[in-house]
């Protein structure tokens, strides 16, 4: 059986990828310094986000998703250091000016954050100040970034709650008086308070039950359509991104291994790791199949093996895999012309039946070739 689903729906036209991206990350590397070897949490990542686009960033816990996003916004503290790369921001309000994020001073960064790039942090819904009413917390943000009169600022804050469908009388509530879903919506309203062009959402719904998660996600999509911001949506749950994102970037051991339209990732995945993630959750439609998961566990980021970091867990591995340089290249035969993968050996038409693995590779994974022996990947929230 091929990895390509039998009857894929028509491909969506790709976003306007020919335009210059609003956020362009190039060759970004981030390490956590330690007395032993550095933890290479992000290695030479290229990722761009276009105006109005939703890019999903998927990968197991510890793959470097949050480090990539926070590194790109210069929000990391020591021992994290950006060791290479560039990040360029081009917002509409800047009138064609490009901002080199990594060379900005702290004051310049303050102007950029929230107003241009807003972040909903992982576990953000627990980050509201417990002793301040919702209204005062929202007013703090509006006052810090916009020059509005008192009445105007109050009206703006009230309309922010309208945006996320929370009744205005909740402005007087304290966080503990709100449900988890409402608190997360307040955090989203806070991120949108001053009309950012880019919103980074780091596992925004992971702590919520699926029904509330769904409500919030559809609201996020509706807001994006209405207000036109772009979203970098980070999650360990690839299945969410297949519905939500225009493009999906899959991260493994600090590196991007595949980037493609959500359609291509769903119906024509190339990289064996992406295939493993897709095989870790059931599909609502289509034939019943065994969930294979991914054997083994991710490598130690202080001591990555040469070549492909997925080698010890990959059912397609050959002797050549330890010598590849892990750059992303166009995928032959892909529907999406921007579909790229770091695996030069497996394409969407490669059958899923695993070839026998190298003896050493199987042993390193701690399992039998082609069989799930370790925890199923993609399940644990960060
Ligand atoms: N302060 C730190 N010191 C050392 N290593 C860290 C630190 N923070 C994160 N890491 C490591 O960096 C890697 C990437 O972490 P993270 O970006 O949080 O991954 P994700 O968001 O995908 O779960 C992990 O291996 C993690 O253990
Ligand atoms: S086939 Fe080789 S290069 Fe491709 S993912 Fe597997 S181990 Fe990596
Ligand atoms: Mg994270």
Q: Which listed ligand is nearest to 67 at the C-alpha? A: 1
203 & 343 share domain:
no
71 & 184 share domain:
yes
297 & 335 share domain:
yes
Q: Is residue 3 part of a domain?
A: no
Report the number of distinct structural domains present in the chain. 2
* CA 63 to ligand 3 centroid distance, Å: 8
Whether the CB of 314 sits within 6 Å of ligand 2 = yes
37 & 186 share domain:
yes
Query: Which pTM does this prediction carry?
Result: 0.87
Long-range contacts of 204-208 (CB under 8 A, 24+ apart): 204/120, 204/124, 204/233, 205/235, 205/240, 206/122, 206/235, 206/236, 206/237, 206/381, 206/382, 207/123, 207/125, 207/180, 207/381, 208/180, 208/181, 208/184
224 & 274 share domain:
no
Domain edge (last residue) among 212, 245, 278 = 245
55 & 139 share domain:
yes
Q: Is residue 15 part of a domain?
A: no
d(CA 277, CA 380): 12
d(CA 195, CA 160): 11
Which numbered atom of ligand 2 lies nearest the CA of 315? Answer: 6
Cβ proximity of 75 and 117 under 8 Å: no
Strand partners, 89: 23, 99
Q: Is residue 6 part of a domain?
A: no
* CA 296 to ligand 1 centroid distance, Å: 19
Query: Token pair of 104, please?
Result: 């900005």
Of all protein residues, whose CA lies closest to atom 14 belonging to ligand 1? 64
287 & 220 share domain:
no
Q: Which listed ligand is nearest to 206 at the C-alpha? A: 3
Find the domain containing 340 and state its range: 252-365
202 & 136 share domain:
yes
Query: Token pair of 13, please?
Result: 């036209």
296 & 347 share domain:
yes
212 & 150 share domain:
yes
* CA 332 to ligand 3 centroid distance, Å: 32
Neighbouring residues of the ion ligand 3, judged by CB less than 5 Å: 66, 382
Cβ proximity of 99 and 89 under 8 Å: yes
88 & 161 share domain:
yes
Whether the CB of 257 sits within 6 Å of ligand 1 = no
Length of the chain: 382
106 & 175 share domain:
yes
d(CA 234, CA 65): 7
Q: Is residue 269 part of a domain?
A: yes
Q: Distance of alpha carbon 21 from its chain centroid, rounded? A: 16
Whether the CB of 41 sits within 6 Å of ligand 1 = yes
The domain spanning residue 57 has which CATH number?
A: 3.40.50.300
Whether the CB of 364 sits within 6 Å of ligand 2 = no
Domain edge (last residue) among 222, 245, 268 = 245
pLDDT per position in the chain (382 positions), as tens?
A: 444 444 444 444 445 556 899 999 999 999 999 888 999 999 999 999 999 999 999 999 999 999 999 999 999 999 999 999 999 999 888 887 899 999 999 999 988 999 999 999 877 677 899 999 999 999 999 999 999 999 999 999 999 999 898 999 999 999 999 998 899 899 999 999 999 999 999 998 887 888 888 888 988 999 999 999 999 999 999 999 998 999 999 999 999 999 999 999 999 999 999 999 998 876 656 666 666 678 889 999 999 989 999 999 999 999 999 999 989 999 998 999 999 999 999 999 998 755 444 444 433 333 333 333 332 333 333 3
């Amino acid at each position: 059986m091929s990895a390509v689903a039998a009857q894929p729906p028509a491909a969506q036209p790709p976003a306007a990828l020919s335009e210059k991206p609003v956020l362009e990350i190039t060759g970004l590397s981030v390490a956590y310094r330690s007395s032993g070897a550095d933890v290479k949490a992000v290695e030479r990542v290229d990722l761009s986000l276009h105006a109005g686009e939703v890019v999903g960033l998927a990968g197991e816990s510890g793959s470097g998703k949050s480090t990539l996003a926070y590194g790109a916004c210069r929000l990391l503290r020591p021992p994290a250091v950006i060791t290479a790369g560039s990040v360029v921001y081009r917002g509409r309000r800047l009138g064609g000016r490009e901002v080199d994020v990594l060379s900005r001073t702290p004051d310049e960064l303050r102007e950029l954050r929230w107003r241009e790039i807003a972040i909903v942090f992982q576990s953000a819904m627990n980050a509201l100040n417990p002793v301040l009413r919702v209204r005062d917390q929202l007013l703090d943000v509006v006052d810090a970034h916009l020059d509005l009169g008192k009445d105007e600022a109050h009206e703006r804050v009230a309309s922010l709650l309208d945006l996320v469908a929370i009744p205005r009388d909740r402005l007087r509530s304290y966080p503990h008086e709100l449900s988890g879903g409402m608190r997360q919506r307040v955090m989203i309203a806070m991120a949108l308070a001053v009309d950012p062009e880019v919103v980074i959402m780091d596992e925004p719904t992971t702590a919520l039950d699926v029904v509330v998660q769904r409500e919030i996600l559809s609201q996020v999509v509706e807001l994006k359509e209405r207000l036109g911001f772009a979203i970098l949506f980070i999650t360990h749950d690839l299945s969410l991104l297949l519905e939500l994102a225009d493009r999906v970037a899959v991260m493994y051991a600090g590196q991007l291994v595949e980037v493609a339209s959500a359609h291509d990732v769903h119906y024509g995945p190339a990289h064996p790791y992406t295939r493993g993630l897709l095989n870790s959750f059931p599909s609502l439609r289509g034939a019943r199949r065994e969930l294979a998961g991914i054997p083994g566990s991710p490598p130690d980021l202080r001591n990555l093996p040469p070549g492909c970091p997925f080698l010890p867990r990959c059912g397609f591995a050959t002797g050549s895999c330890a010598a590849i340089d892990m750059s992303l290249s166009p995928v032959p035969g892909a529907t999406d012309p921007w579909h790229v993968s770091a695996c030069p050996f497996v394409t969407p038409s490669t059958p899923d039946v695993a070839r026998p693995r190298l003896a050493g590779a199987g042993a390193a994974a701690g399992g039998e070739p082609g069989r799930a022996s370790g925890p199923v990947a993609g399940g644990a929230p960060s």
